[in-house]
Amino acid sequence: MQSEYILGISAYYHDSAACLIKDGEILAAAQEERFTRKKHDSRFPKNAILYCLSEANISVDDLDCVVFYDKPLVKFERLLETYLSYAPKGLLSFFAAMPVWLKEKLFLKSTLKKEFSALSAHKKSPKLLFTEHHQAHAASTFFVSPYEKAIVLCLDGVGEWATTSAWIGDGNRLKPLWEIDFPHSIGLLYSAFTYYTGFKVNSGEYKVMGLAPYGEPKYVDLIYKHLIDLKEDGTFRLNMDYFNYAQGLTMTNEKFHKLFGGPPRKSESTLTQKEMDLARSVQEVTEEVMLRLAKTAKKETGINNICLSGGVALNCVANGKILKAGIFNEVFIQPAAGDAGGALGAALAAYYEYKNKPRKVNPLDAMKGSYLGPKYSNDEIKKRLDSAGAKYTLYDSDTLHDQLSKILAEGNVVGYFQGRMEFGPRALGGRSIIGDPRNQKMQSVMNLKIKYRESFRPFAPAVLAEHVSDYFDIKSKSPYMLIVADVLEKHRIQMTEEQQKLFGIEKLNVPRSSLPAITHVDYSARIQTVHKETNPKFYSLLTKFHQLTGCPVLVNTSFNVRGEPIVSTPEDAYRCFMRTEMDYLVLEDCLLSKKDQPEVEKDDSWKNEFELD
């Protein structure tokens, strides 16, 4: 029987990506930004597509069909209806949006046909299908989950109309239960506060989440009183008098600014206690909405497992609260929960729902650890390092990890590049920067000297899966760094009376536990459990580090500097290594020490290459 190849793509809004499946198995998936080095690149994902095809050793002409993650005509209808209902307000926004729609998005089918014909040897486009946006989100999480049956909750900014939707996933089918429609969106409420606190919408939301523990929930009552009408069952409506996103070019308006005592913070200006309190307040409201929706979904269906997707599902603090509440036996979150994951969902929806293929459930999950991007052999890496004039030593893996454990235990920061690149926004030990979590200086060194980013940003622990409950209040696995849990009491360092009086960012330098580099100011940590089955090399390194130090945990952050996409190629990794104050670099089995590298003239002008997030 001939194999069926289906390519899913997301494009033209934000986070373009491509994903290739063969008979329901995920072969490859990657975001376009990794190849173009333009963060959140939204253009046609040509490079990601070519990578996926090369991974399977096929051409465009071998594809059974291509599936787009959105229905552009329905989205256009929503835009038009929105502009009409807010007229004559919104003219500026209307005039800004229309040229792009009339030139590109409205005729997306012909645009896509043209792009694919250009990639085809026969100048022919494969069959094109379109899923709904939230259908793609739901498919991306349920069909790869380890459950035969589950509730699926999708929460994001907005798709065509839906901003929040609930589904029942059963076998190879997704049954829609209910949805909340635009302009009422918990994702857009969070983005409004992202904008107001001076961060970039669609990329700075995770900063608001990281900032929240420094603040107090001072504005929660104000949000409930004026901005959101939240019902007992979790459904909600926003008071659009305070928002500008439906008709304008900004998220918030003068009425919003008046309510919170002034204009939005200017980007890159000093963060004050006010921003921290705003972050804490919108975070608590978001958690409450998600908890109530989860409880309602459980009550309505009686189903014991839940799958989450959509950009709001990247809010790992809220995910941790749902898990801890014990509403469900298990929680599964799609690692590429945002729009990039829509490419995967589109392909899977076509395979299971359109073609009605049977589904085999993988007890681990079908994401292969999310290691779905390109990889490089030692020979390729040596060739590339030689051409750059780099100095390195090649080891066998075992010896390398012995050596590396010592290097890490001595307080060095290491760029760790091995295996396939991760799909989704998190580095999971394929394209990571790692360090010793016991080192008190590690957080500030990594933030300020390597990532060149704000000092308050927390780092995640990568922990051997079998040891996670020795350090953290969590019994489940969390392979995708999408659940926050508390550090156990026995590892905490209690604050003195003096320290308890500290406010906001002053709390930053007070060590909270025996692993200070990964413990946030509220004693929490964003956990990644590392499993032998999905990442044997990273698992082996953690095992060696544990044997040497008694600590089964490493600090893990993404291999990039602020504003830059995560590195993809050995060249990207070497360039990032040489530009920052990283001490060592590992490329597969090659180890490079900074002090052995050829002298390069110090030039910081490269920092202007990347737009700050």
Q: What is the DSSP string of 405-470?
A: HHHHHTT--EEEE-SSPBSSS---SSEEEEE-TT-TTHHHHIIIIIS---TT---EEEEEGGGHHH
Whole-number Å distance between alpha carbons of 604 and 492? 39
pLDDT reported for residue 465: 98
- Residue 595 CA: distances (Å) to CA of 325, 395, 541: 50, 19, 23
Task: Identify the band that residue 608 occupies on the pLDDT scale cut at 50, 70 and 90.
Answer: confident
Q: What is the mean pLDDT of residues 366-382?
A: 98
| Burial class (CB within 10 angstroms; exposed 0-12, middle 13-18, buried 19+) of 407 | middle
pLDDT reported for residue 609: 74
Pick from 423, 434, 370: which is nearest to 566 by CA? 423
- 116 Cβ partners below 8 Å, 6+ apart? 60, 66, 125, 126
Tokens encoding 296:
């309602």
Tokens encoding 203:
């990329």
Among 13-17, 127-131, 295-299, the least confident range: 13-17
Compute the half-sphere exposure of residue 543: CA atoms within 13 Å on the CB side of its CA.
14
Task: Say if CB 282 and CB 250 are below 8 A apart.
Answer: no
Q: What is the mean pLDDT of residues 372-391?
A: 97
- Residue 388 CA: distances (Å) to CA of 66, 90, 381, 385, 597: 39, 53, 11, 5, 10
Task: Identify the band that residue 458 occupies on the pLDDT scale cut at 50, 70 and 90.
Answer: confident
Single-letter amino acid, residue 513 = S
pLDDT tens digits for range 218-277? 999 999 999 999 999 999 999 999 999 887 778 999 999 999 999 999 998 999 999 999
pLDDT tens digits for range 206-216? 999 999 999 99
Q: What is the mean pLDDT of residues 498-513?
A: 77
pLDDT tens digits for range 33-49? 999 999 999 999 999 99
Tokens encoding 577:
């290594």
**H-helix or E-strand containing 173?**
strand 173-181
Task: Say if CB 479 and CB 547 are below 8 A apart.
Answer: no
pLDDT reported for residue 81: 75
Whole-number Å distance between alpha carbons of 604 and 583? 18
Helix 316-324 × helix 273-301 angle, to 10°: 40
pLDDT reported for residue 589: 98
pLDDT reported for residue 341: 98
Tokens encoding 405:
């454990």
**b/e 366-377 (16+ beta carbons within 10 angstroms → b):** bbbbbbbbbebe
Task: Identify the band that residue 13 occupies on the pLDDT scale cut at 50, 70 and 90.
Answer: confident
pLDDT reported for residue 83: 64
pLDDT reported for residue 103: 65
Among 101-110, 193-202, 328-337, 547-556, the least confident range: 101-110
Q: What is the mean pLDDT of residues 564-572?
A: 97
Helix (H, G, I), strand (E, B) or coil at 252: strand
Tokens encoding 325:
């509440």
pLDDT reported for residue 296: 97
Tokens encoding 343:
């490419």
pLDDT reported for residue 271: 92
Domains and CATH numbers, the chain: 5-137+340-364 (3.30.420.40), 154-333 (3.30.420.40), 378-609 (3.90.870.20)
Tokens encoding 254:
């003068």
Helix (H, G, I), strand (E, B) or coil at 585: strand
Task: Identify the band that residue 448 occupies on the pLDDT scale cut at 50, 70 and 90.
Answer: confident
pLDDT reported for residue 89: 72
Q: Is 551's pLDDT higher than 90?
A: yes
Tokens encoding 249:
């070019």
pLDDT reported for residue 507: 75
Task: Identify the band that residue 498 occupies on the pLDDT scale cut at 50, 70 and 90.
Answer: confident
For 82-86, the CB contacts below 8 A with 24+ separation are 82/182, 82/183, 82/246, 82/247, 83/247, 86/246, 86/247
Higher pLDDT among residues 449 and 286, named by residue: 286
pLDDT reported for residue 62: 97
Q: Is the pTM of the predicted complex or chain greater than 0.85?
A: yes
Q: Round to the nearest angstrom and report the end-to-end CA distance of the chain.
A: 48
Q: What is the DSSP letter of 243?
A: B
**H-helix or E-strand containing 348?**
helix 341-349
Task: Identify the band that residue 598 occupies on the pLDDT scale cut at 50, 70 and 90.
Answer: very high
- 479 Cβ partners below 8 Å, 6+ apart? 335, 365, 369, 370, 428, 465, 528, 529, 530, 531, 534
- Residue 60 CA: distances (Å) to CA of 35, 46, 52, 142, 506: 19, 11, 10, 27, 55
pLDDT reported for residue 606: 62
Q: Is 613's pLDDT higher than 70?
A: no
Higher pLDDT among residues 605 and 436, named by residue: 436
Single-letter amino acid, residue 490 = K
pLDDT tens digits for range 61-120? 999 999 999 988 788 777 777 766 776 676 677 777 777 766 667 788 999 999 999 999
Higher pLDDT among residues 514 and 100, named by residue: 514
In percent, the amount of the chain with pLDDT more than 90 equals: 81
Task: Say if CB 450 and CB 433 are below 8 A apart.
Answer: yes
Q: What is the mean pLDDT of residues 144-170?
A: 96
